[in-house]
């Protein structure tokens, strides 16, 4: 009999929460249940047509590409950051990987230090560190501060435990909150990071989905210590294509080289046709800009609808400013909820799914306390192609009627959440 031997770091590691809820939702749908899929944060929009055409035109590309990525693609990405953020990167310090998730894992493997995470944070940051046996320091955020990390919290933490190599992941527009950092706060965080020599991974995978199109990278204020992480999965609707990017500053070029060494022994290089197609995506010409303009309008309209619906129900929440998420804390309903057996976010999610068919995730999966009654919802259960086409025909702001007509599942799911809260409060 073959010995069952498992790395102790992953004995208790479950499947990623977002992928798990998606698979559970799909099983329930196959069983004939009506499920509103607000669990997995997958872009509802199709890949832009010019990028699809570029993939078709390059389907014949079959050779292994350089480990760091196709040079022309890396040049295009460097030019994109120069134009959009005024930040310059050497082509040799840009790495293409099979999703930004894999690049983050490899960076943590190469960089031996403590990982700092604001709470709440995306579900996979902490598990990756635990797989590698790295220490994780959670940094408190509050509703009053819009769940954004405050400079004094970061400074106090680093002062308590000085002279430790650290990397912090700042993700914005944020998953799970849908909120983003204002410029002044970015500048203050950059100053603290510089003072403590912290490496920042600025996860800007949702940067182009800032609802106002005003995303600013913290790399503008801390260029020597900021790695910008992005890819095609969110703003380009190409999650299944698995292409992520890291742009690393010159002073950290040793990280780029060592990450490439690890990549050469693991994934080798990203699919050639997809890298060639990605060039078209990162050129950000008028076709791509029009696509993004309408995507932002649709997401902004849904955000407005959710915010007003929640506020009318007495749910305390900040209006999402980017991406396609809401993070909702129901602690003000605790007394009523406990009488109905809802004592945690997981209880809320389980009962909500059972009673209404709406699938969401508990705040616990994003680094919040297990007892906190909080959830994250991804408002993506609608036909993105239909919504984009209809939005392109309408001038001005999109309203609630647009959401009701062209984003029906998401519209209905929010109504069901509000009714569930009122019935159990």
Residue-by-residue DSSP string for 73-92: HHHHHHHHHHHHHS----GG
Going by C-beta distance under 8 Å and a sequence separation of 6 or more, which residues neighbour residue 182?
none
Q: Where are the alpha helices (DSSP H) in 212-271?
A: 253-264
- List, in sequence order, every residue forming a beta bridge with 401; answer none if it has no partner: none
d(CA 341, CA 352): 12
One domain, residues 32 and 123: no
One domain, residues 35 and 171: no
In a domain, 1, yes or no: no
One domain, residues 204 and 137: yes
Q: What is the pLDDT of residue 19?
A: 78
Encoding tokens for residue 77? 């990405």
One domain, residues 302 and 371: yes
d(CA 89, CA 82): 8
One domain, residues 141 and 247: yes
> Phi/psi at 175 (nearest 5 deg)?
-110, 110
Q: What is the pLDDT of residue 160?
A: 94
One domain, residues 358 and 258: no
One domain, residues 68 and 35: no
Q: Point out the domain boundary residue: 259, 283, 307.
A: 283
Q: What is the pLDDT of residue 8?
A: 81
> What CATH number does the domain containing 69 carry?
3.40.640.10
Helix (H) or strand (E) holding 359: strand 358-359
pLDDT in tens for each of the 425 residues of the chain? 777 777 788 777 777 777 788 888 889 889 988 889 999 889 999 999 999 999 999 999 999 999 999 999 999 999 999 999 999 999 999 999 999 999 999 999 999 999 999 999 999 999 999 999 999 999 999 999 999 999 999 999 999 989 899 999 999 999 999 999 999 999 999 999 999 999 999 999 999 999 999 999 999 999 999 999 999 999 999 999 999 999 999 999 999 999 999 999 999 999 999 999 999 999 999 999 999 999 999 999 999 999 999 999 999 999 999 999 999 999 999 999 999 999 999 999 999 999 999 999 999 999 999 999 999 999 999 999 999 999 999 998 899 999 999 999 999 999 999 999 999 98
Counts of helices then strands in the chain (DSSP H, E) = 15, 12
d(CA 260, CA 199): 18
Instruction: Render the burial of 160-179: b for 16+ CB within 10 Å, e for the rest.
Output: eeeeeebbbbbbbbbbbbbb
Q: Model confidence over 276-326: pLDDT tens digits?
A: 999 999 999 999 999 999 999 999 999 999 999 999 999 999 999 999 999
CB 253 within 8 A of CB 199: no
Q: What is the pLDDT of residue 21?
A: 82
The answer to whether the peptide bond before residue 211 is cis (omega within 30 degrees of 0) is: no
In a domain, 2, yes or no: no
Q: What is the pLDDT of residue 259?
A: 97
One domain, residues 150 and 239: yes
Q: What is the pLDDT of residue 143?
A: 96
Q: What is the pLDDT of residue 213?
A: 97
d(CA 213, CA 288): 13
Q: Point out the domain boundary residue: 247, 268, 283.
A: 283
In a domain, 196, yes or no: yes
Q: Model confidence over 119-170: pLDDT tens digits?
A: 999 999 999 999 999 999 999 999 999 999 999 999 999 999 898 999 999 9
In a domain, 368, yes or no: yes
In a domain, 3, yes or no: no
In a domain, 84, yes or no: yes
Encoding tokens for residue 320? 């999402």
CA–CA distances in Å: residue 84 to residues 48, 217, 238, 355, 408: 20, 9, 21, 46, 34
In a domain, 354, yes or no: yes
Q: Point out the domain boundary residue: 283, 315, 345.
A: 283
> What CATH number does the domain containing 373 carry?
3.90.1150.10
One domain, residues 98 and 172: yes
This prediction's pTM: 0.95
One domain, residues 276 and 292: no
How many other β-carbons are positioned within 10 Å of the β-carbon of residue 397? Answer: 10
What's 27's DSSP letter?
H
Domain that holds residue 132: 52-283
Helix (H) or strand (E) holding 234: none
Q: What is the pLDDT of residue 28?
A: 82
Which DSSP string do the residues of 272-330 spell out, in sequence order?
Answer: HHHHHHHHHHHT--HHHHHHHHHHHHHHHHHHHHHHHHHHHHT---PPP-BTTEEEEE-
One domain, residues 201 and 170: yes
Average pLDDT, the chain: 95
The residue among 237, 179, 169, 245 whose CA lies nearest residue 210 is 179
Q: What is the pLDDT of residue 4?
A: 72
Encoding tokens for residue 125? 């940051």
d(CA 85, CA 249): 14
Q: What is the pLDDT of residue 152?
A: 98
Query: What is the number of structural domains in the chain?
Result: 2
One domain, residues 278 and 329: no
Going by C-beta distance under 8 Å and a sequence separation of 6 or more, which residues neighbour residue 12?
none
In a domain, 258, yes or no: yes
């Amino acid at each position: 009999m073959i010995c069952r031997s498992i790395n102790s770091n992953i004995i208790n590691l479950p499947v990623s929460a977002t992928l798990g809820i998606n698979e559970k939702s799909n099983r329930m749908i196959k069983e004939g249940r009506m499920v509103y899929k607000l669990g997995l944060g997958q872009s509802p929009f199709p890949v832009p047509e010019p990028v699809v055409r570029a993939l078709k035109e390059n389907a014949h590309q079959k050779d292994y590409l350089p480990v760091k990525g196709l040079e022309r693609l890396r040049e295009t990405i460097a030019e994109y950051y120069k134009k959009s953020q005024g930040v310059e990167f050497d082509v040799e310090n840009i790495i293409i990987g099979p999703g930004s998730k894999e690049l983050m894992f490899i960076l943590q493997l190469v960089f031996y230090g403590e990982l700092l995470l604001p709470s709440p944070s995306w579900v996979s940051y902490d598990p990756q560190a635990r797989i590698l046996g790295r220490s994780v320091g959670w940094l408190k955020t509050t509703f009053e501060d819009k769940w954004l990390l405050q400079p004094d919290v970061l400074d106090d933490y680093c002062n308590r435990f000085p002279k430790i190599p650290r990397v912090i992941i700042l993700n914005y527009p944020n998953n799970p909150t849908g909120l983003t950092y204002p410029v002044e706060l970015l500048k203050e965080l950059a100053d603290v990071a510089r003072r403590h020599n912290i490496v920042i991974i600025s996860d800007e995978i949702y940067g182009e989905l800032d609802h106002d199109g005003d995303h600013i990278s913290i790399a503008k204020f801390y260029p020597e210590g900021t790695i910008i992480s992005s890819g095609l999965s969110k703003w380009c609707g190409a999650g299944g294509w698995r292409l992520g990017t890291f742009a690393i500053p010159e002073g950290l070029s040793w990280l780029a080289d060592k990450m490439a060494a690890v990549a050469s022994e693991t994934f080798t290089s990203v699919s050639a046709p997809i890298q060639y197609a990605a060039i078209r995506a990162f050129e950000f010409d008028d076709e791509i800009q029009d696509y993004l303009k309408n995507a932002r309008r649709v997401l902004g309209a849904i955000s407005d609808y959710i915010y007003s619906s929640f506020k009318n129900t007495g749910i305390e929440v900040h209006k999402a400013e980017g991406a396609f998420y809401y993070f909702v804390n129901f602690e003000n309903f605790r007394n009523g909820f406990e009488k109905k057996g809802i004592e945690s976010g997981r209880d809320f999610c389980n009962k909500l799914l059972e009673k209404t068919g709406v699938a969401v995730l508990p705040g616990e999966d994003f680094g919040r306390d297990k007892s906190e009654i909080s959830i994250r919802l991804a408002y993506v259960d609608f036909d993105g192609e239909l919504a984009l086409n209809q939005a392109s025909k309408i001038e001005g702001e999109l309203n609630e009627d647009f959401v009701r007509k062209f984003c029906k599942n998401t519209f209905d799911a929010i109504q069901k959440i509000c009714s569930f809260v009122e019935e159990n409060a």
